[in-house]
Chains A and B, each alone.
Chain A
């Protein structure tokens, strides 16, 4: 394997690796704009220039590859390539390139939403000149809508063409192109074909400056005010890795997080803007008991006592409804509570979309069907007839929290059962059928593991604090069960995972520590 020397340090790299990749992989910073690991290399920004020994001019490191050199031609008898990123010439060129990029770039960082995570701002600070020699008037163009969700500020654009390549290579829809040439060139769309595909939000993320902006986040806040929490998107069964940006328990935006086993670098707009769903829901924060006429608020102790009483009275006639929207831990505790007598609500589906780059938006809108099936193996498909057969008197329903219309069959069934416990975070149609409602957590409040449709277990971390008196979803069935059986309860979600591992071999060695932020594959172990 070739040996490359970058700034006095030797690295052994794969043949065909670019210098920029080799440097970035080893925490050597080379400034770059147009290079994006998911996109074709164009080498247009000229920011990643490095000095390569033996080459007369500076080279763009993103498009210079390390190869095997015959042993007699190796530099110092050892190296296949010797690169300097700190050379005086390189530093001067970086200054010059930044001065060019900043010729027409407005100094409106206070107004710009990219400020704080802007590559141009960072590099100008780190590598650039403090002053510009440009005395002419700057080129000023009005903002334009490229699609319903994306605005372009042409003044800030540095024409790296990441967005153009994204629409060509990843979404395959090719809406964006560079219009005109030279001084007049700008990113543009055709009037009859705006940037409205389901991946459009990604162009705002990959834009290294504040030129492409998502209307959802524009002028909302400053990036340094927000807390960033790695999490998992819960809007389909792909389970894209995301970063949740939130402030004061309010989510402001989601951005994709790199995970090459799941979503690579991107996420779809359904997931990206999906968190707004939870802003206007009728949130449940206290336990409620149905009495004549409506729900009455009650305390947890009372609610659990009543549930346990009913559970004792029902004897063997108990069943549960697991939910593919909940974590493995919640479903596992529910399965334990009802002795594996589990059904599920009708699934929510939409059309599956596949992009040429391999990016996929699943048709199954629930994030954890795979995991639910793993930890509740005896799920009955035709639950309604099973209820008839078994004389069910007590039903514990783990609600999806999705606002849906129940069909007549389900409604009739829920009415017929003596006592229905619904654990939910929203006042959905299902919750309204309950005799007692126990408030659980909303999606970004949950902690636990979820398994995506490819059998990858991922760590779902809480991004915002739990509202009101709501309790963790795994804790509520656990409390009821431990009171019912008269045993000591589990104390935290890790101990639930431990218990789960004892019952289901596929999950036996899964811990938060091992999952990390990239997750672990089950490799089909659950199906065996």
Chain B
């Protein structure tokens, strides 16, 4: 790899990282504003114009707060856990293509940090690693609430990872590749070529599983305040708590981006051939990606303030008795269809 290529990669990493963090900040603000709007309130509107600087104020507050480390915690793991959750959450975004290709300095530069051959496996692997952060935080805190939160999250993530992975399999079957770029290109063209129309069942299963994976309502049993005080992060304060917070929102951003990539044509604008339109096409593709992701982020909040929390047994029942068989049937049907069409 030459020097310029290295610089371009570095710039892309920086852009993606800062964009994710910025989105996380915006999400914290949006969460409060949207929830307020849905409840007939106004939400934070004092810090900056329309309260836009509220997340900054929140950040400063987190930094200034006293950092409490309870006496009986397992200190190394207690300190490590937030990082173990945050880093995989941020790393996942590396393989997601957020735009078409642009030409810079006479080079074709794909708008994606790393185009891995096993892109989807990479994502599934990293989300699984994130569970360690949760479980270790719950265990190291030496608090019953944290422990129950951690246990719940591990059980929940394992249950729903299966359904999520299997629902993605059908998409992979269609695209014939694990590369996310190929999956996006496969959906190019007109609107109905998006996977959501080809694989509606897989999409629903994936969407539900994603909510469970990100610990969002209606599946936020790991941090159910009413039962567990705070869940796995009960004993965390100040910036360490903020890291958990950031990780949760970063996970949401990645999940939304992934949903868009897998089912909504990624950066695709229907009926346009972005690759052939040069710089304008690239800009349009990025905009399209951002808009679609923003919608799914909004959906996260929307769902949170609409549906109540599942009971633990209901959660398990849904995961194992509904989602898993449904995903398997979906693969079977997809595979059967593909076999039949290829035989002909």
* Chains A and B share a contact (CB less than 8 Å): no
